[in-house]
Amino acid sequence: MIIEGAFSKIPEVLVNHENKDELYEATMVNLLTSAIILELKARNIDNPLMKIQLEKRYPIQNRERCDIYTYFDFLTSDNLERYGYFKENWIEAKYFGGLNRNRGSETKSENAASIIYDLYRLAKNTDNQKNKGLYCLCGYTV
């Protein structure tokens, strides 16, 4: 529920962003990371920056990296997993927009394939781990 709370903060920030052409995938990762930190601070968690890692390598494939990895060691009860609280969370982010995007020339099948590939990486590279949170953040410019 911490990650979902962070997801819900992103649209409010994006609506107030002045120049949509300056948004990139790294900006989306930064916004989500900041929102996760806000969620952790709202719950009075000590040192929330130590709970988040960017570009962490997957445990199975050492060549591939996840955009955001969180480890919430403060969750001590395994019963919380029934309510959507996981100690380990793997998050992939994908953003379609930015300065190089031309209207009418988007390759929609290529965008869908990159989303499917991110989902495949999440499922394949975290296969041996149970009780983990897997998330994919997809954003686009209208």
| Long-range CB contacts (within 8 A, 24+) of 78-85 | 78/131, 81/131, 83/1, 84/1, 84/4, 84/133, 85/1, 85/2
Q: How many CB atoms lie within 10 A of CB 69?
A: 18
pLDDT of 106: 61
pLDDT value for 52: 94
Question: Do residues 136 and 122 make contact, with C-beta atoms less than 8 angstroms apart?
Answer: yes
CA 43 to CA 37: how far, in whole Å?
10
CA atoms within 13 A on the CB side of 126: 22
Interatomic CA distance for residues 67 and 116, integer angstroms: 15
Are 47 and 59 in contact by the 8 Å Cβ rule? The answer is no
Q: 62-66, 75-79, 116-120 — which is least confidently predicted? A: 75-79
Query: How far is Cα 101 from Cα 41, in angstroms, rounded to an integer?
Result: 36
Select the more confidently predicted residue: 17 or 30: 30
Position 67 scores a pLDDT of 92
**Percent of the chain at pLDDT above 90?**
18
For residue 28, the tally of other CB atoms under 10 A from its CB is: 20
The pTM for the full model equals: 0.82
Strand 65-71 with 88-96, pairing? antiparallel
- Could you tell me the residue ranges of all domains in the chain? 2-140
> Packing angle between helix 25-42 and helix 2-15, nearest 10 degrees?
130
Between 108 and 118, the more confident residue is 118
pLDDT-based confidence at residue 62 (cuts at 50, 70, 90) = confident
